[in-house]
Structure formats: structure tokens, C-alpha cells
Amino acid sequence: MIEIKDLSFNFENTNFFENINLSLKESCINVIIGPNGAGKTTLIKLIAGILKPDCGVIKSGKKMFYLPQKITYTGAITLYEYLTSIFFRKNWKWHITKNEKQKIFEIMQKLEIYDKKDITVEKLSAGELQKANIALGLLSEAEIFLLDEPTSNMDLINQVKVLDIIKKLSKNGITSVVILHDLNLAAFYGDYFIGINQERKIFSAGKKDFLKSEILKKIYNIDFKILNDNGSYNVQIIK
Amino acid sequence: MAESKKIYTLIILTIVFLIALYLALFAGYKDSGIHLLFKSFDLSNDADSIILTVLRYPRVLKGFIAGSCLALAGLFMQAVSKNPLAEPYLTGVSSGAGLGIVISVIYFNSMNYSLFGFAGALISSAAVILFAGISRFSAAKMILTGLSVNLFASSLISLFILMHADKSHLIMFILSGGFNSGGLVPDKTLFAVFSAALAASCFVIPKLNFLRLDENMVPSFKKEVYLIIILSAFLTCLSVFAAGILGFIGIIAPQIAKKLVGNDYRYLFFANILIGGSFILFADYLSRTLVYPLQIPLGLVIAFIGAPVFVFFLTKKGDIFDRN
């Protein structure tokens, strides 16, 4: 479980976040939503430990994997070679052991990218690349995945495929924190919700309590109509 | 790229290297051939074997050291800065070395100019790395600091040359790059230092495979990057000591190697050593035989072959230079 207590963060001498208390749910998809510039990425970077809070504590105790929104890829390597990169962290490691190779193949099969293993990275689609990045997270044995808009630049099918994988991981005990912009996808996949508005006020609740028009209005400042059909939600904008 | 294909490529590169080695050692004799190698072992006073042991062996050794050091240093620089245009002299080595050489020729015994060049290279690169690393280190900062130090030192070089017109011809000749007697430092010492630097490279090479991942995604290691840059600068200084200031190899050898064996640094390591070494040995052969009996400075020959080769790769295989 990720526990955030009395967190404050200053940015360029202004209070960016003040006294934030949050607790994220384990083995669930925690979705962060909010308008651009509200601080979603900042919050996820604070959790990842890339940014240091000015006061307060973030407790997680588990290995985390942070997937930034924009990733630069090294060219001229195959998907398999891309995944092997993660194992070269230690000194004097000149070759990939059989075990590690086996592990890479297993994860590739699980994420359905095994048949692409000899394709160079620049020829892969956005969805396949994102699966490869998730595979890196699994290979690094992280138990908490922090994903900053993992479905940006993807068509609907690929968005669903990537989110399906994240859902499957959460059933296997992996906690994920995901920034999403599509409220309907968020409503479909999310288990626990964190909303940030332009004033950096934070709202958090489970699905049933969060997906209400008055809360969404506080976050986005526009009116919503929410249809609930036996637990499947549909979020509409009212003009 | 399949592993077996990479290994075949390395074997072919080794054969090319052996051909270059043969040319550099034996070509140019009236009586050339591999049997000279065996003759040179029976310490007779035969003129041919003296040429081999006294002139050619040290020269080939230095050529190999210079070429492989430059290629490796370039590989490190390009990997760390993630920029395919990065080159070994980015840390201010070239003009620092040039300044050392000029001071040595003008004010001291010009026999030891390579030692002065080495010292100049060490001082300037140490200055650049320190300045770039005092607060938060970044590759962009280092490149810009290196550029400033290069400009500063090369203006001093021009000033010295203008003040000592009588020695300007000698200075220009030495600055064009080429082998020398080495002065006080025996070749064995040079080889030992080179071997140590290679051993240190073996340590960091696999880590460069890890650096292929986005630095925001995985915990980056700033300390290691800093060490790699220091190692790269040191390799460049060694090459300056062995063969003066030679441009081009440090930028094209890594590019060609990447095209041949892909982006796996374990293979790139060997490919760069072989390509850099072959390139200089071949250039040295040409520099001795092209306008026989005159010797064209090695640096000029390298530029003569290097520029067309580079342009060829740019036009034919241009797509590899868009990435790194």
C-alpha cells in the first residue's frame, strides 16, 4: 500500500502541493484524472521518488517502476535486445543467462509480443512498444507500476489492449497508479480514483463514490451526466 | 540482428585487421613477405629485421593503440551523450594537446612533444570534466564547456605560432598528426597503460547496454556516466600520445561499427577496436607508400580516406545517423 502523509511540495518558490494525504489501494488500478497542468505528473513523480517532497512522507516499501509519458528509444536493436538491456545493470555482466532469457520469453508470451521479438524497436507500433515497456517493469520485478498516460497516441483497440494488461497485472497482485484522460476508460478499468483540479485540490474515493457529477464538476469545472447501468458507468458531457 | 551474424561480422573485421597489420608491417620492402617476421626473431643484424623491430613494430603498436582508443572513446561519448555526432575531442582534448605540443616545440626539447601533448590533453579534459561536473552534470553542459576550452586553447596556439614564425612549419607538421619516437616513455609502458584502460573499459561496456533504456524510466547512474566520460577522455589522451591529434576516427568508427553489428555494446566494443585499429594501420601504409619516398602526415591521409567513406555512409545508409 502506498501511503502519503502531510505531503508538501514547493515549485519555484510557490506551494505546489500542500498537506496532501492519500492512501492508494493495493492490487488495484488507481486512476489519477484531472485537467492539464493540475499536477498529475508531479504527483506520480513524487510517488516514484524522482521528485523529493519538501515535507511529509511517502510510504510504499515495495519496488516501483515508473513509466514516463514520453520515452526515447535507442534505434537499431530488436525488441528482444531492448528487453535484455534491463539485465546489464550489474558490473561484469557480459552475458544473459539461460534463466534470464527464459524469463524474457515468458513475459513476452504473456504480453503477446513474442512473435515480434526479432523486429527492431523503430518498426514496432505504439501499443507494442508500450507492452515492451510494461515487460521491462515486470522484468525489474517491480510490484508497483506508476504509469503516466500509458495510452496516449494510441487507437482505441491498443488503448484497451494495454489497459487489459494492466488489469490482468492488478489481479496478479501488482498495484498500478495510472494517469488517464479518457473518463469512460477510467471508469471502466479504474478501481480507486484520485482527481486533481486546477487549484490542486485532491479528491479521492472508490468508484461508486467518486464517479458523481458534483465531484467531476469540481475537478474539471464543467457539467457531467453519469449513467450507471448495474456498475458499468458512462460519463457524458452536458453542454 | 542474430548473434551468429554479429560473430561472423567480427571474424571478417578481424581478417580485415590482419590484412591492414600485414600491410603496415611488411609492405614497402623490396623483399616483402611473411618470412621476414620469422627472420626478425633470430636477432641477427640483418638490415630488414632492424627496420622491422626498431621502426615498424613500435609504429604499428602505436597506430593500433591510437586507432582503437579513438574509436572506443567515440563510442563512449556517443553512448553517454546519446548523440550520434559526439566525438572524443568534445572534452577539449584536441586543442589542449595542441597547446602542449606547441609549448614543447617552442620552449622545450621538441623530442618530447608527445609527452607535452599528453599532459596538455589531460589538463584540458580534466578542466572541462570538472567544470561540467561541479554542480549538476549534464552532457550538454560538458559539450559547451569543451567547446569554450577548445576555442580558448586554439586561440593561444595561433598566438604562439604567430610569435614564433621560424618554427611554424615544424609545428604545423606535428599538429597534422603522426607517429614519433615517444621520447622518454618506452613503448612497453604505453602498452601497459593501454591494456589497463582496456580492462577498465571491459567493466563499463555492458553497462552501456543498460543505458539504452530511457533514463527517466530506470534509475540512471550519474556516477557511472561520469566515470565513463573520464575513461573516454583518458583513452583520447593516450591516442594523442601515440599518434598526435587525429580527427575523424572517433566519430566514424563507432558509426560504421553500429551499422555492422547493431546496437549491442558488447559487440560494438570489439568492432570498434578492430575498425579503429585497421583504419589507422591502413592509413599509415598509404602515408608511407602513396608518394614514396615522401611521407604524408597520417592525419591528412585519414582525412583523405575518412571524408569520402563518411559521406558514402551518410548518403547510402543515412538512416542510421538519425538514431543512435
CATH value at residue A103: 3.40.50.300
Inspect the interface and report whether the beta carbons of A88 and B210 lie closer than 8 Å.
yes
Instruction: Please report which confidence band the pLDDT of residue B166 belongs to, taking 50, 70 and 90 as the band edges.
Output: confident
| Distance to chain B for A117, nearest Cα, Å | 11
Inspect the interface and report whether the beta carbons of A92 and B206 lie closer than 8 Å.
yes
Contact between A47 and A101 under an 8 Å Cβ cutoff? The reply is no
Task: Tell me which residues of chain A have a pLDDT lower than 50.
Answer: none
Indicate whether B43 pLDDT > 60.
no
| Distance to chain A for B240, nearest Cα, Å | 29
How high is the pLDDT of residue B45? 57
Contact between A57 and A5 under an 8 Å Cβ cutoff? The reply is yes
How high is the pLDDT of residue B254? 92
B318 against A116, higher pLDDT: A116
Instruction: Give the span between the Cα atoms of A150 and A166, in whole angstroms.
Output: 10
* Cα B17 to chain centroid, rounded: 16
Pairing of strands A64-67, A224-229: unpaired
List A residues 135-154 in contact with B (Cβ-Cβ < 8 A).
136, 140
The tens digit of pLDDT for each residue in B196-244 reads 999 999 888 988 998 888 888 877 677 788 888 889 989 998 998 888 8
- Closest to A56 measured CA to CA, from A12, A16, A94, A86: A16
Question: Looking at A27-41, B101-115, B118-132, which range is the least confident one?
Answer: B101-115
Amino acid identity for residue A102 in this structure: Q
| Distance to chain A for B313, nearest Cα, Å | 16
Q: For chain A, where are the alpha helices, taking DSSP H only?
A: 40-48, 79-84, 98-110, 126-139, 156-171, 183-189, 207-210, 213-220
The angle, 0 to 180 degrees and rounded to 10, between the axes of the packed helices B298-316 and B249-261 is 40
Mutate to test the interface with B, among A80, A89, A95, A124 (most CBs of B within 10 A): A89
What does pLDDT average to over chain B?
A: 83
How high is the pLDDT of residue B46? 65
| Distance to chain A for B10, nearest Cα, Å | 17
How high is the pLDDT of residue A103? 92
- Closest to A27 measured CA to CA, from A142, A144, A136, A137: A144
* A-B contacts at Cβ under 8 angstroms: 70
CB nearest B210 (choices: A65, A78, A85): A85
> What's the grid cell of residue B29?
620492402
Instruction: Give the span between the Cα atoms of A195 and A128, in whole angstroms.
Output: 29
Amino acid identity for residue A140 in this structure: S
Rg (CA), chain A: 19
The structural domain count of chain B equals 1
How high is the pLDDT of residue B181? 54
Query: Scanning every residue of chain B, which has its alpha carbon at the shortest distance from the alpha carbon of A66?
Result: B217
How high is the pLDDT of residue B34? 56
Instruction: Please report which confidence band the pLDDT of residue B142 belongs to, taking 50, 70 and 90 as the band edges.
Output: confident
What residues in B contact A101, CB-CB < 8 Å? none
A162 against B311, higher pLDDT: A162
Contact between A4 and A20 under an 8 Å Cβ cutoff? The reply is yes
> What's the grid cell of residue B236?
583520447
Query: Scanning every residue of chain B, which has its alpha carbon at the shortest distance from the alpha carbon of A146?
Result: B217
How high is the pLDDT of residue B289? 84
Q: For chain B, where are the alpha helices, taking DSSP H only?
A: 3-26, 35-41, 47-50, 57-81, 93-107, 113-133, 139-163, 168-175, 187-210, 222-243, 249-261, 265-289, 298-316
CB nearest A76 (choices: B82, B207, B263): B263
Contact between B288 and B75 under an 8 Å Cβ cutoff? The reply is no
Q: The domain containing residue B165 runs over which residues?
A: 3-322
Inspect the interface and report whether the beta carbons of A94 and B263 lie closer than 8 Å.
no
Inspect the interface and report whether the beta carbons of A85 and B82 lie closer than 8 Å.
no
How high is the pLDDT of residue B24? 87
Rg (CA), chain B: 20
- Cβ within 8 Å of residue A190, ≥6 positions away: A29, A30, A31, A178, A180, A207
| CATH classification at residue B279 | 1.10.3470.10
Indicate whether B323 pLDDT > 70.
no
Inspect the interface and report whether the beta carbons of B218 and A140 lie closer than 8 Å.
yes
Inspect the interface and report whether the beta carbons of A136 and B212 lie closer than 8 Å.
no
CB atoms < 10 A from the CB of A90, how many? 9
Question: Looking at residues B15-40, what average pLDDT do you find?
Answer: 72
A44 against B184, higher pLDDT: A44
Instruction: Please report which confidence band the pLDDT of residue B321 belongs to, taking 50, 70 and 90 as the band edges.
Output: very low
Instruction: Please report which confidence band the pLDDT of residue B38 belongs to, taking 50, 70 and 90 as the band edges.
Output: low
Q: The domain containing residue A81 runs over which residues?
A: 2-237
Q: What are the backbone angles phi and psi of residue A55, rounded to the nearest 5°?
A: -150, 170
CB nearest B209 (choices: A75, A85, A92): A85
Environment class of A173 (CB within 10 Å of its CB; exposed 0-12, middle 13-18, buried 19+): exposed
> What's the grid cell of residue B114?
608527445
Query: Scanning every residue of chain A, which has its alpha carbon at the shortest distance from the alpha carbon of B83?
Result: A74
How high is the pLDDT of residue B324? 41
> Which residues are A192's β-sheet partners?
A30, A206
Inspect the interface and report whether the beta carbons of B214 and A75 lie closer than 8 Å.
no
Highest mean pLDDT among A141-145, B56-60, B115-119: A141-145
CB nearest B206 (choices: A74, A75, A94): A94
The structural domain count of chain A equals 1
CB nearest A81 (choices: B214, B258, B264): B264
Contact between B271 and B10 under an 8 Å Cβ cutoff? The reply is yes
Amino acid identity for residue B67 in this structure: G
Instruction: Give the span between the Cα atoms of B152 and B139, in whole angstroms.
Output: 20
Inspect the interface and report whether the beta carbons of A77 and B262 lie closer than 8 Å.
yes
